[in-house]
Amino acid sequence: AKFNSYYRISLVDSLYMASPTITKSYAGDNITLIVSGASGTKLKFAGSNWVSAGTATLSSGANAILTFVFSGTKWVESSRVVQ
């Protein structure tokens, strides 16, 4: 069964998302991050288990919505909207 997780993150400063531990993740699983914060706040990804388009920099009063799909070995970014 495909698993979908949604996380709402409110940033007060930039944040590094460390490489996730891959246990009980199956190909096709999804993670969606809904991130808000002050203008210039950054969401960065570190580690070998993320495949992302890089840093998401927020605009004032806006959100970033990033979706990752598990490929069977890594979490791969499938979509990104930064408002």
User: Which residue from 27, 18, 17 is spatially nearest to 69, judged by alpha carbons?
Assistant: 27
User: Which residue from 70, 74, 66 is spatially nearest to 32, judged by alpha carbons?
Assistant: 66
Is residue 81 scored above 80 in pLDDT?
yes
Is residue 51 scored above 90 in pLDDT?
yes
pLDDT of residue 60: 78
The pTM of this model reads 0.89
d(CA 32, CA 68): 6
E strands, the chain, in order:
4-11, 15-17, 30-37, 42-45, 50-51, 56-57, 63-70, 75-82
Report the pLDDT averaged over residues 10-17: 90
pLDDT of residue 1: 60
Is residue 24 scored above 80 in pLDDT?
yes
